[in-house]
Amino acid sequence: MRDNKNSPIIQIESNIDKYNIKNINNKYEVINKVSSELYKKYLSNESQIKYITNIETGMKIEIWKNGIKETFGNDKYYFNLPKELKKAKIASMNSLAKLIKYAKVRSKDAKNYHKLNSRIVYTYLISEIKIDEKLYYVTIDIRKSPDGKNKFYIHNLSKKKGNNLSQLQSN
């Protein structure tokens, strides 16, 4: 993965103070606080579409609040994440645009496994991020609609255990 100079490891700190989250275990507060902060930067809304261009594919990708909601998953999933991973996932959202921009393609035009007859396909991307000196892989799913829109759908964080993609530790 690191053989391309356009695929840097994005380095950040786990400091999430700027989001002003009172209860890190409250998924809905997290989603709302993160979304509010990201509207200032690169979150699209009905009145303004903002694009992030992935260098490898040239795809122009929109990030909407629904992608933020999906990223933090269902209630049980989020509640059971260790505090360290909750903080890392929240912290990574501040660099989501960079993660998308420099991501490498894992799979292009993958079928929608929820609806096999759907004309919607997905491109799966991967980036590396270093949070407080710990390495993670960030997998990013991009929903490609028949109307030509590419929307950020979800991202997941996995601890990097070794030097290649087969050594992901899923969380």
Return all residues near 144 (Cβ < 8 A) that are at least 6 apart.
109, 120, 121, 122, 123, 150
Q: What's the pLDDT tens digit per position in 143-154? A: 998 888 999 999
What is residue 6's predicted lDDT score, i.e. its pLDDT? 52
- Could you give the CA distance from residue 63 to residue 150 in angstroms, rounded to a whole number? 9
Question: How is the chain split among helix, strand and coil, in percent rounded to 5?
Answer: 30, 35, 40
pLDDT 10s digits, 56-110: 999 999 999 999 999 998 888 898 999 999 999 999 999 999 999 999 999 888 7
Residue type, 106: R
Residues 154/138, Cβ–Cβ less than 8 Å: no
Q: State pLDDT tens for residues 103-133.
A: 999 988 877 777 767 788 899 999 999 999 8
DSSP letter for each residue of 30-81: HHHHHHHHHHTTT--BTTB--EEE-TTT--EEE--HHHHHHHT--HHHHHHS
Rounded (10°) angle between helices 83-93 and 27-39: 20
Contact 126, 160 (CB under 8 A): no
